Every structure is written in structure tokens, then in C-alpha cells.
Amino acid sequence: MQKKIPVGVLGATGMVGQRYIYLLADHPWFEVAYVAASPRSAGKPYCEAVQNRWLIGSDIPAGVSELIVGDANDVSAAAGKCAFVFSALEMDKESIKALEAAYAGAGIPVVSNASANRWTDDVPMLIPEINPEHLAVIAEQKKHHGWDKGFIAVKPNCSLQSYMIPLFALERAGYPVKRMIVTTLQAVSGAGYPGVPSFDMIDNIVPFISGEEEKTEKEVLKILGSVKDGRIEAARAPVVAAHCNRVPVIDGHTACVSLEFDLPDEKKPALAEIERVWTSFRALPQELSLPSAPLSPIIVRHEENRPQPRRDRDADKGMAVTVGRLRPCPVFDIRFVALSHNTKRGAALGGILNAELLKAKGFFDGLY
Amino acid sequence: MQKKIPVGVLGATGMVGQRYIYLLADHPWFEVAYVAASPRSAGKPYCEAVQNRWLIGSDIPAGVSELIVGDANDVSAAAGKCAFVFSALEMDKESIKALEAAYAGAGIPVVSNASANRWTDDVPMLIPEINPEHLAVIAEQKKHHGWDKGFIAVKPNCSLQSYMIPLFALERAGYPVKRMIVTTLQAVSGAGYPGVPSFDMIDNIVPFISGEEEKTEKEVLKILGSVKDGRIEAARAPVVAAHCNRVPVIDGHTACVSLEFDLPDEKKPALAEIERVWTSFRALPQELSLPSAPLSPIIVRHEENRPQPRRDRDADKGMAVTVGRLRPCPVFDIRFVALSHNTKRGAALGGILNAELLKAKGFFDGLY
Amino acid sequence: MQKKIPVGVLGATGMVGQRYIYLLADHPWFEVAYVAASPRSAGKPYCEAVQNRWLIGSDIPAGVSELIVGDANDVSAAAGKCAFVFSALEMDKESIKALEAAYAGAGIPVVSNASANRWTDDVPMLIPEINPEHLAVIAEQKKHHGWDKGFIAVKPNCSLQSYMIPLFALERAGYPVKRMIVTTLQAVSGAGYPGVPSFDMIDNIVPFISGEEEKTEKEVLKILGSVKDGRIEAARAPVVAAHCNRVPVIDGHTACVSLEFDLPDEKKPALAEIERVWTSFRALPQELSLPSAPLSPIIVRHEENRPQPRRDRDADKGMAVTVGRLRPCPVFDIRFVALSHNTKRGAALGGILNAELLKAKGFFDGLY
Amino acid sequence: MQKKIPVGVLGATGMVGQRYIYLLADHPWFEVAYVAASPRSAGKPYCEAVQNRWLIGSDIPAGVSELIVGDANDVSAAAGKCAFVFSALEMDKESIKALEAAYAGAGIPVVSNASANRWTDDVPMLIPEINPEHLAVIAEQKKHHGWDKGFIAVKPNCSLQSYMIPLFALERAGYPVKRMIVTTLQAVSGAGYPGVPSFDMIDNIVPFISGEEEKTEKEVLKILGSVKDGRIEAARAPVVAAHCNRVPVIDGHTACVSLEFDLPDEKKPALAEIERVWTSFRALPQELSLPSAPLSPIIVRHEENRPQPRRDRDADKGMAVTVGRLRPCPVFDIRFVALSHNTKRGAALGGILNAELLKAKGFFDGLY
């Protein structure tokens, strides 16, 4: 058996950081060897730093429980302890940007869940099933900053993960989308911990999530963008209008989507063709058999009342997107409901899949 | 003090029936004098018939608690006991249709909450702020059936009540709407009792409500229709696409709306103008000072995270619609969130407002 | 019409402070004339200070919305603006203790909801139906501190309010209780705002509330204590064991109680006698017809599945306690379920009832 | 690899039946070869019979999906298809009793989850960690009925599973319990499907579960009973008083327990000793390494706010009981919070563990 690659987790005590630690517990390639958080937690064993606030399942994975937490601001503390870091930092955007750059500058690649670098144009915002060719900009990124081995790669917001792969599958099959109106019903875990007060989530919903609609509408275009002169140029379509709601669900973001194809009527796909496109969709992570890749990225259900968060979020390790209620839209062309696990596909496990892709493509070579 | 008008409630033990009884407890014009339900309940005092299943607040209103429940199928049992009946019958559609006609035929007007007669073209489907002129078809209805004093009037589905008045206010102000995409987050009380299992509403939402999307999309057009040859002819616009979801909320349906005006760009209203139209909107129920009419049918809120069901559903007796988050839509023209109380404005109190309008317009004259 | 007494609310932006403002909106005797909060809020109009965080119903009461918030630490700011203050301060215990004393020292009586002074032995901890004779210690309190018109009176914790009046009613009727085991299911509003994270209250309960069991077990004894030498001496019985749980309910604390009488078996009351004692229980607030006093402090229900928080918490303005499921206990003598509204009877409206009692007894004379 | 033992599931479409099918999907010994339900479902493929009502996870296990559902009332239909059946029948008690006897009479042992035969005194009510010696009565049962290979074994109610093993561990260690007062907070899955209406479980709890308190109080005594003359004689202690509540939790019953030892004060165990007894507790299922047995039946947690249903119910496959908050009780000796998974340990997986014990002890010999 080969030795696993040692990895670090920044922001290890927060909800996403905990999710990384939980999901990496039995990872075939990676092993958590370093955890870092705020100065308040630094110096304590991890189990003590999260005391009474371990949020996922009963227990902290055994291997991590006794690791001494480092100060995330102290880049040198990570040196030599890990081949790269997962960033689940919870700070203001500018501090995260500076800190992620500092890790990259110190030769430690950063696979980030944070939004700070999503719009940096030489930072790829990856969904491995969609835009692995965006990895090409990393060379330019390194050159531009004078970084040797370090670099930054990010993943997009959780709110769009449910419909982004179905959308891309249609585009790739030759059915470009002109515009779409999306209403999301998002789980509370997306807001971290303590996050949304229970006083707002009992007998209630909140029809607003700060910054979320803007992210959803904009990030779609970068993900579908193309590499030009070492940078990513955002796509121009589809135009997205999003309504983002917080609902009393632990995990699993649901999206109600109406969309219009950018095609003459006679070339628009029939529902059966769309279903065929979705169920047969496979991409690079499936070809490479990456450990966290779902066998089939899109699952189509036919029950009239599915997908539902509690029943469908864990499909294929929480990495498959489940689509249901595909039907004609009286205003646009089609409508459907899509669901993905926001803290697995939409956050930590999505980040791990990014790292698996980077590893498979040799971006960590020489670091472990 | 004038004597109150005696009224009956059909389907008195169900959730909507109970809501009628609760809301009529202190009504200035009407008084519950007769209650009817299924044969299983018939013959028992009302308090015994609903035993352990009184759903609204602590106690059955004193005046109704001891009324002996009649058999709703026995029209003659209601004769002489009430001037008209509220129908909250929960049966199959055909039985309701036949039974409501039987009451009307026996000279007892039926103000119905049921969907059975919504598409009967000589039955007005009323929202008193919008289409009181549809009352004109009652004369034709009576003539057609050979009814003397009885008739049927209905109210539309609860799912559209949140955005229907805002939509109409725009149309009346000269801003016709071409099409709209609506996603609703609907409360469980809309499904009656026992209704939605708790197993489906804890850590979950259900993106489907049987028949609801069709009703929402179609009823809008009848409500906006016009009277022609004694019948209502549905409007042709706007085209509505609805996504209806059940969420863990007790009362209050929320709708996320994106809409496009049927106007050249330069004639489309600015957001400030739309807000002016909404906040200044008044209609016949306000002019007549009907007891259940809200002072202002549309309340516009400016907080970024409102309306919310628990906070806003009870605005102005649960009869005002609350609108918030009015903002431009990148796909259509505008988008906003609208909320109404589904068992007050959207069901029983909406039915009572219909009865108040009918009374004010003399439709019950000679019956009490 | 007589002019209302001007009152102040300290901690006006928190959940209990908001509840005071909401409940005093139409009070027949009192009128909110002054609001104070942390320095962060001071100087702003109240509506701006609570912006997007108004928690109760749709809107801030009109009269308070535009009041300029004072700094609660600046006692002099309150002088001349109000006859007394309600304290809903949310600070550490020592700061509250010092600040409440400062108000009292400045001649402004403090009717407090905070726990800081509950165990000060010359401060009465009032439930007006139970221990109005404890008001006698206020004279000693004033003398001891050299206060002229100011003084401090407090109310007990919300967790015991559901069973405390039923317990006292039994004791007063000659049925002393030896010991009781109580398990509470407490609403999230008791934790303030933001309070309990929704991540902990969806598909979950938390079997722990910091400090709550100790308060419940101990406060019972002071409430039942007697005045001796100008101080309150705690009672010795009953011994209480409490298990306090947080459950996903907005308002309304439920308690499951098993209790044993301190009587020989043949003198123990039958269930029918206990019910008679409870339903006939009236006390000083009822005799004085205090505006917030319930007509009947204890409501006994006979449905097998009541009381329930959402159905019963608002009984008689949220000031009546509802008891149900009275039955024999195989281990002790009897068991039952009791419920009270934790932010009305258990917090703000309980505090207002205390102020009404103080007013009726002349403790505010000369202050307005 | 050895061939698996074919088993049947009666009541296969209900919630407990589905749970059996889900949990047996990868069982090392057993394989679902036959499913039966009401005549309404009989004759259909299983996937069609449960259509839109598959409650657990996304999908019906592949091997069962296409099985043709038998009529549970037709015992002959099961003959030859399975070595024994799990009974998750949902009918009236008398029908279940008759039907379970019919299966046993036809030579098909019944491992039942139903309550119908729990008080039949020659039917063992098993928790394999506690009373495997009760299996001895099966011989008498067979003799009495003249059954050859068939017999009936049952499991107790889910409400007591959380505290029953901790209680027994104390008794076995020489610390008999005299009496205990228990308040349970029970999950909605315990009520089956559709079960508890969501209207009762949003912003609410229900302090009553029909028949549950009686079962809890009585079953404890049979489980702790002894075999005498081929029958089980119930124990006389401890006396249990139960308060059973329904709370908005999907899975996981929590119990707040206060108990008193039947020992002189000087012989009562210290808290540390109790913890030692619990953490070191092992029993026959652990010795036999039964596949569904937890490694350690009792897990003791030290966080102040645990156990919690969502975090702890799945401990060790959902078969370990988690205990926390062990502390002195001011009224009795000790108090604590205990939690078990009601549909795993408390229902289907508990039933499977019973079957594993029966298999290991040779009760199915000759049947497969």
C-alpha cells in the first residue's frame, strides 16, 4: 500500500473545515496531517478546539482528534507538514485573498472553498465534470506571481451546483441555453455555524441570502468560460435570474429551474432527448475514476414528488446531482427540479474532487 | 343592534371549515347558525364531532361548540337555518359540484372554497379587489338553472393569492404583464388535516403539490377575464409558469416572481412607480369598508429579508398581501417576493370577504 | 381619560426588550416613553437600531419606532423620562447587578426580567398570584441601600412558570408537595436572538440548557419562601429535580411533572379534588383586576393530547397556565403536563403584571 | 461463500417493513426472498407497490425492487420461499396475533416487531444483550401449540430501548433499581407513515402517544423477568413512570431518566463506577460477534449537551445506546439522558439482531 499524501485544512474548526476532516477520514489518496484555525484555537489539540461544537456525526475522526491546531495566519507552521492545503477559511474576503496567496507563495498549493479568489481571472473555478481545461491558467498564475510550486484553485458557490452540471450537459450535447430563471431552496448548513438562528427557521422561511443571487448569476458564466491568453474569459450566456431562499433543511439545496434554449424551435430537444443527455453524461472525473467522482453525475428520477433533500442528497456519496419533474415550461422551453448536497458536492467533497483532479493531472508532483 | 345574518358552514369539521368557524366568531354581520359535515359526524354536538382535532387556537368558539352537526348531503336539513352557506366540503369534485348545485337549487346560496365550480363559466371566481364585476354572471347562472334565490360563487386557489393582487394592480395602472415565472413555497395548512406527513416535512421540502401548478397557471386567466354574454371569458395573458413547493411552514404562502411587461421598454414602469402603484392600490372592498377588507390590500416592505411567513402573514387581519425585495430581473423586467396568509386571505377569510361583497351588493336580500 | 404612566425599557433591542415594547403598545396604564440599549445602538432612532431584526409580528409599534435609543449604561439619560424601567438587559450578571442598582439609586424603580438579582435576599422574586406579600421586603431594601424612591423587583425564570402556579395552588389548598421530578421541553425564544442555531434545531433536540436546571430547582424555594426580618427566607420543600431540554418550538415551555405529596396516603387529594383546586384558583391579581392578569390562572384541559405549545400558549393573553393529562403516577402520587407562554407569562408580560401589582400597591406613587 | 438464508418480510410496504428491506440489503447471513403486504399490494412488483412512498434513502435495494408482493394473509404463499419471516404487520392486534400464529403453525418462524404477542407468556420478548435465556420458552411454546418448526419471538417497544440496556447493566453489576421516572422525546418515524401530521409537528410538540406509556412501564418488567415452568414471569421491579412525548425529530428517541437504587446509601454506586459499568458492558451478542451487534452496547459521552438525536442516533450502526449527562439527582440517586435509534435498534435492526441470535442458537436449523 502506498503512503497517503499529507494534506492540511485551513479553517479546520468551522463547519466546512469539519466536513473536510470528516470526509477525508478514509480517503484513499489523502490524509489530514495538519489543521489550522484562528489564533484562539492555535496550540490546542483539535478535539479541544472544537469541544461541544463537533457538528457532523458523533465523533471527530481518530487521526485528527489529537492533532495540535496551528495558527492559520502563520504560513510557516504548515511548511513541511502537508503537500497542499484545503482552504475553508472564514474571514473577510481581503484577508482570505492575502492569506491564500501567502500559502501559494510559500510553495503550498491552495484548494479553496472560499469565494475570495473566485473572480481572480488566472484562478480556475473548477467543477471537474465541466471545465478541467481551465487548469491551464495555473501556469500563467504561477508565472505572474513568480510562484514555483504553489498555486490557487477554487470551487464555485454551492447554490448553483444543483443545476450547473445538467445545464452544461445540455450545452455540451449541442443545446445551448439562452436564459434561465432559478429559484433555490437552500439548506441551513450553507450558512455555517452558528449560522441561521432557529428563531428564523421554525414555521418560517427567509427569502434572502446575502450575496447569493449575485454569485449564482455570475459564477455560471466563468465556469462556462474559455481560456484565452492564460486567463479565463467568462461566457456571455446563459443569462440567469436567481431567487435564493433559506429553508429549514439541514443539507441539500433544491433549485426550481425554467430555461429557454438558444435554438430555433425545430432544433430544440424533446424531453426524452434531454433525459438521454443527462443520464448518459460522463466526463473526465469518471474517465479518470477519481475516488470522489460519482459514477453517473446526473441521476434522473421519475416520481412526481422527487427530488427531495432528505431522500436524494446522499445519492452516490452526495456527489451526484438528482433531477426530477422534467416537463415543458409554458413560458420558456423546459422546467425541472434539481438537487445537490451543498456540503458534499457543493463544498468539501467538491473541493476534494478538485484536489483529486489536480493530483491526477500532476499538479502536486514533487510536493509529497 | 341589528340581528346578525345566520350562516351555515359545510365541511365544518375540516381545516378550512374550522377556520371559517373561528373567523366568524366575532363577525359583525354573520353568525354561524348551522354546521354540516359527513354522515359520520352528523347528529353529534360540534365539539364532540371534532374532539381532539380542533386545530386553531385553544378552543372552539362558544356559540358553535354545542350546535348539532347536520349531514352535509341532506340539503333539507339546512333549510330555514341559514341565509346562505360557506362550502368547505372535502369530497371528490363531482360530488361537490352536485351538492353545491343542490343547495343553490334549494334556494340557499353557496359561497364556496372548493375547486369544483371554479371553471364553471357562469360561476364567478372572485377576489373582491379584482373582479367584482364578475358578479354579473350570477343572474345568468340563476336563469340557466332555473334557480330562484340560490346561486354559487367561488374563490380561487390559495397559491396565487400572494401575487394576484400585485399583478392586477399593475394591469389596472396601465402596465399589462406578458408573462411571469412563479415559484411558490407553500404552507402545510393548505393541505388540510392530517395533510402532509411530518416525516416529509422535517429536514425536507417537497417540490410538488398535486394539481396546484395547473390551477395557478389557469385561474389567473379567469380572474382577469371579462363578462361576455352572461359568462366569463378568460383573459389570454399573462402566461404563467408555476413551480409549487411544500415547505415546513404552518401558514403563509410565499411566491418568488419574475415578470415581463407587455410594453415597449420606454413605457415600462420604474421600480418607484411600481411601488407607488402597489401602496396606493385601493378597490371596491375598501370603498365599501367591508369588515374583512384590509385597509391597504398591498403592503410593500423594504427590509432585505422580508416578507417572511411567520412575521408577515397576519398583516391587516391576514388579508393584506405583503410584497418585498422588488428589484430588476436580469431575465425579465422585475422580480419580487409576495406573501399571503393561505388560510385567511387564501381560504376562509377570503370566502368571508366574498360573502360580504355579495351581501353589500344585495345578493342575499330576502334571505334573512 | 387619564394620562398613562411613562415607562422605560432597558435592553430594548433584544428579544425580551422587543416583547416588552410589543406588549406595552396598547397597555391601559403604561406607555413606553424611553428605550435604552448598548452604546452601539444609542443615538439612533429605535427603528434603525433594530433594523431587519424586529422579531415579533410585522412592525414596531408606531409610538416607539421613532424614539431615540439611550445608552443603557447612562442612568442620567433616563431621569425625568420615565416613572420606572423594565430591565431586559443582556449583559454579564455583575454588570446587570451594578446597573440595576444604579437606576434604583437614581430614584428609578427597576422591574427586572434578568436573573442577576434573583437571589438578592431583599429583592422580591414575584409571581403576583403566589407571593405578593414578598413586596414587604422592598422597604428593607430601600433602607439598606439608602434609596429613596428607587428599588428592584424581579421575576423568576421562565422554565418554572408552567408548573409553579399549579404547585402553589395545591399547597395553598392544604396539599403540600414533598418532591417532584420535572422534565421541560423549552422553546427557542427563551434563548434570545440569535440564540439557538437552526443547525441544532432541525431534526434534533438538545437535552441541555446552560444554568437552567439549577435555576428551576432553586427558584421554586425562594418563591414559596416567607418574609423574615425584612428578607426572604427560602422554603425547604418541595425538592425539585429538573431535566431541561431545548426543542424546535418558537414559544411555549412544556413541563412533564411527577409529584409526591407530603401527606399520609389517606389525606392525599383525589384527582377530582386537584382539578377543583386548579380550576377554582384565583389570587390577588384577579381580585385587583390587574389588566394583564388572566381571569383564571390555571386552565385544565381534558383532551388526551393537550396542552400543546402552538395551540395553548396564547390562552388568556398568554398569561394562563394550561394543565392537562392529570393522572396517577406509578412512582409518585400524580403526574401531569403543564404549559405556559415563555415570553408572555414567562418573561415580558409577567414583568408587566409585576409592574401592575406594584402600581396597584402604590410603589410608584409620586413618580409620575 | 456460503449461500444466504432466504427470509420474508410481512408488512413490507410500511415504514418498518421498508426499514427491514433497506437494512437487509447487504446482510452477511440473510437475504430478502419474499415480501408480503395487504391484498391491495399483492401481485404487484414491490417497486410498484410502494411507488412514491419509498421512505428511506433514494432507492429500493436492487434485489427486492422486482419481487412480486404476496398477500400477507395467505400463509401458504410464503411456504418454501423463506426460512422465517420478519413481521412488521400493521393491522389490529387480534389479526396480527392470529396471523403470526398461522405462520408459526405452518412451520415458518416469526421474528416480530409487532406488539400483539409481547404479553403472550410463552413468547420471548428479546433484547439479546439482556435476556437471551428467555429463548428457553420457545420449546414450551412449540409444545403447547403443537408446532413443529415454527415459533414466535418478539422485540419490545422502541420507547424503552434507550434506557433498558443501561438499566440492565446496572442490575447485572449488582446495583438493582427500585424505581425510575422517565420522560421520552420520541421521533416521528416511530408512528409509521403517514403517521403524525406535519401540522402537529411544526412549532409544536405533542405530549401524548397512544398506549406508549403503558407499554414502556410494563415491558421493562417482562424483559427483566425470569423463566419459570416454560413461561416468563415478569420481574417486580423497577417501578417505572413514563411521560411520552412526540417531538419534531425524524429518527432517535431520547429519554430523560431519574432513578433510585434499591440499596442502602452506602452501597449505592458512585458516578464513576456507573460509568465503568456502562462502558465495560458486553453481553452475548458481542461474544457471538453477531453481525448487527454493536461493539460496545453503551457509549458514554461527556459533552454537556449530548446525546442529541441527529448526532448520536447512528452510533455503531444505530445499534449502540448513547448515554450522557450522568449526574446526581436531587430527588432520586442519579439522572441521565439516553438515546437510541428507534427504527434501527428500536425496530428493524433490533429485530434482525434477534434473528441473528436465533440463528446462532440453532433455532432455524433445518429450515434452509
Which of D82, D134, D244, D253 is flagged as catalytic? D253
Considering chain D, what is the average pLDDT of its residues?
A: 96
By the 10 Å C-beta count (0-12 exposed, 13-18 middle, 19+ buried), C66 is classed as: exposed
Measured between CB atoms, which of D304, D325, D331 is closest to C179?
Answer: D331
Picking from C288-297, C316-325, D44-53, which range would have the lowest pLDDT averaged per residue? D44-53
Closest residue in A to C249 (Cα) is A202
**Does B58 lie at the interface with C, CB-CB under 8 angstroms?**
yes
By the 10 Å C-beta count (0-12 exposed, 13-18 middle, 19+ buried), B205 is classed as: buried
Closest CA to A274 of A261, A287, A283: A261
Q: What is the DSSP annotation of B189-213?
A: GGG-SS-SBGGGTSS--BS--TTHH
What residue type is D260 in one-letter code? E
Which of A134, A158, A244, A341 is flagged as catalytic? A158
Question: In percent, how much of chain B has pLDDT > 90?
Answer: 97
CA distance B18 to chain C (A): 14
Contact B193 D197 (CB under 8 A): yes
How wide is the angle at C-alpha D326 spanned by C-alphas D321 and D327, nearest 5°?
165
Confidence of residue A57 (pLDDT cuts 50, 70, 90): confident
pLDDT tens string C103-135: 999 999 999 999 999 999 999 999 999 999 999
**Does D95 lie at the interface with B, CB-CB under 8 angstroms?**
no
Q: Is the pLDDT of residue C71 over 60?
A: yes
* C5-157+348-360 and C159-341 have identical folds: no
CA distance A347 to chain B (A): 19
Closest residue in A to C15 (Cα) is A199
**In this predicted structure, what is the pLDDT of residue B1?**
54
**Does B229 lie at the interface with D, CB-CB under 8 angstroms?**
no
Contact C205, C192 (CB under 8 A): no
Chain B / chain C CB contacts < 8 angstroms = 32
Considering chain C, what is the average pLDDT of its residues?
A: 96
**Rounded Cα distance, D56 and D54, in Å:** 6
pLDDT tens string C133-174: 999 999 999 999 999 999 999 999 999 999 999 999 999 999
Confidence of residue C233 (pLDDT cuts 50, 70, 90): very high
The superfamily in CATH containing domain B158-341 is: Dihydrodipicolinate Reductase; domain 2 (3.30.360.10)
Contact A309 B205 (CB under 8 A): yes
Which of C134, C158, C244, C341 is flagged as catalytic? C158
pTM: predicted TM-score of the whole model, two decimal places? 0.97
| C-alpha cell of residue D322 | 448513547
**Chains near B, with 3+ CB pairs < 8 A?**
A, C, D
HEC letters along chain A: CCCCEEEEEECCCCHHHHHHHHHCCCCCCEEEEEEEECCCCCCCEHHHHCCCCCCCCCCCCHHHHCCECEECCCHHHHCCCCCEEEECCCCCHHHHHHHHHHHHHCCCCEEECCCCCCCCCCCCECCCCCCHHHHHHHHHHHHHHCCCCCCEEECCCHHHHHHHHHHHHHHHCCCCEEEEEEEEEECHHHHCCCCCEHHHCCCCCECCCCCHHHHHHHHHHHHCCEEECCEEECCCCCEEEEEEEECCCCCCEEEEEEEEECCCHHHCCCHHHHHHHHHHCCCHHHHCCCCCCCCCCEEECCCCCCCCHHHHCCHHHHCCEEEEEEEECCCCCEEEEEEECCCHHHHHHHHHHHHHHHHHCCCCCCCC
Closest CA to A114 of A355, A345, A347, A356: A347
Contact A58 D315 (CB under 8 A): yes
Arithmetic mean of pLDDT, D29-47:
97
Contacts of C241 in chain D (CB under 8 A): 258, 329-332, 335
Contact C188 A196 (CB under 8 A): no
- Does the bond joining B307 to the residue before it have cis omega, within 30 degrees of 0? yes
Closest residue in A to B184 (Cα) is A183
CA distance A302 to chain D (A): 9
Contact C57 B304 (CB under 8 A): no
**Does B315 lie at the interface with C, CB-CB under 8 angstroms?**
yes
**In this predicted structure, what is the pLDDT of residue A52?**
81
Q: Is the pLDDT of residue D57 over 90?
A: no
CA distance B242 to chain C (A): 27
CA distance A330 to chain B (A): 6
Contacts of B208 in chain A (CB under 8 A): 304-306, 325
**Rounded Cα distance, A151 and A364, in Å:** 10
Q: What is the DSSP annotation of C300-347?
A: E--STT---HHHHTTHHHHTSEEEEEEEE-SSSSEEEEEEE-TTIIII
Contact D194 B193 (CB under 8 A): no
Confidence of residue B58 (pLDDT cuts 50, 70, 90): confident
Question: In percent, how much of chain C has pLDDT > 90?
Answer: 97
Q: Which of A22, A48, A50, A58 to mutate to test the interface with D (most CBs of D within 10 A)?
A: A58
Contacts of C310 in chain B (CB under 8 A): 250
Contacts of C312 in chain B (CB under 8 A): 58
Query: Three-state DSSP class for C67?
Result: coil
Contacts of A315 in chain D (CB under 8 A): 58
| C-alpha cell of residue D298 | 453503551
| C-alpha cell of residue D180 | 425510575
Query: Three-state DSSP class for B5?
Result: strand
Contact B342, B186 (CB under 8 A): yes
Chain B / chain D CB contacts < 8 angstroms = 58
Mention every residue, 6+ apart, whose C-beta is less than 8 A from residue D23: D344, D348, D349, D352
Q: Is the pLDDT of residue B2 over 90?
A: no
Q: Which CATH class is domain C5-157+348-360?
A: alpha beta
**In this predicted structure, what is the pLDDT of residue D61?**
95
The interface predicted TM-score (ipTM) is: 0.96
Measured between CB atoms, which of A52, A55, A314 is closest to D304?
Answer: A52
**Does A189 lie at the interface with C, CB-CB under 8 angstroms?**
yes
**In this predicted structure, what is the pLDDT of residue C57?**
81
pLDDT tens string B260-270: 999 999 999 99
Query: CA–CA distance from D252 to each of A58, A205, A364, B197, D188 (Å)?
Result: 13, 25, 44, 17, 9
Confidence of residue C1 (pLDDT cuts 50, 70, 90): low
**Rounded Cα distance, A309 and B245, in Å:** 12
Is D144 a catalytic site residue? Answer: no
Contact A198 C203 (CB under 8 A): no
Confidence of residue D1 (pLDDT cuts 50, 70, 90): low
pLDDT tens string D103-162: 999 999 999 999 999 999 999 999 999 999 999 999 999 999 999 999 999 999 999 999
- Does the bond joining A307 to the residue before it have cis omega, within 30 degrees of 0? yes
- Within 245-264 of D, beta carbons closer than 8 Å to A belong to 250
Arithmetic mean of pLDDT, D349-364:
98
Q: Which of C202, C210, C256, C302 to mutate to test the interface with D (most CBs of D within 10 A)?
A: C256
| C-alpha cell of residue C80 | 425625568
By the 10 Å C-beta count (0-12 exposed, 13-18 middle, 19+ buried), C221 is classed as: middle
- Within 263-282 of C, beta carbons closer than 8 Å to B belong to none
Q: Which of D189, D202, D250 to mutate to test the interface with B (most CBs of B within 10 A)?
A: D202
Half-sphere exposure of B102 (CA within 13 A, CB side): 16
Q: Is the pLDDT of residue A328 over 90?
A: yes
**Does C185 lie at the interface with A, CB-CB under 8 angstroms?**
no
Arithmetic mean of pLDDT, D236-243:
97
Residue D110 φ/ψ, nearest 5 degrees: -120, 120
Arithmetic mean of pLDDT, A101-121:
96
Closest residue in C to B322 (Cα) is C58
Considering chain A, what is the average pLDDT of its residues?
A: 96
Q: Give the right CATH number for D159-341 from 3.30.360.10, 2.40.50.100, 3.30.9.90, 3.30.750.24.
A: 3.30.360.10
Measured between CB atoms, which of D55, D195, D198 is closest to B248?
Answer: D198
CA distance B189 to chain D (A): 7
- How do the domains of chain C map onto residue ranges? 5-157+348-360, 159-341
**Rounded Cα distance, D81 and D79, in Å:** 5
By the 10 Å C-beta count (0-12 exposed, 13-18 middle, 19+ buried), C358 is classed as: buried
Arithmetic mean of pLDDT, A212-239:
96
Q: Which of B18, B53, B189, B198 to mutate to test the interface with D (most CBs of D within 10 A)?
A: B198
Is B27 a catalytic site residue? Answer: no
Chain A / chain B CB contacts < 8 angstroms = 130
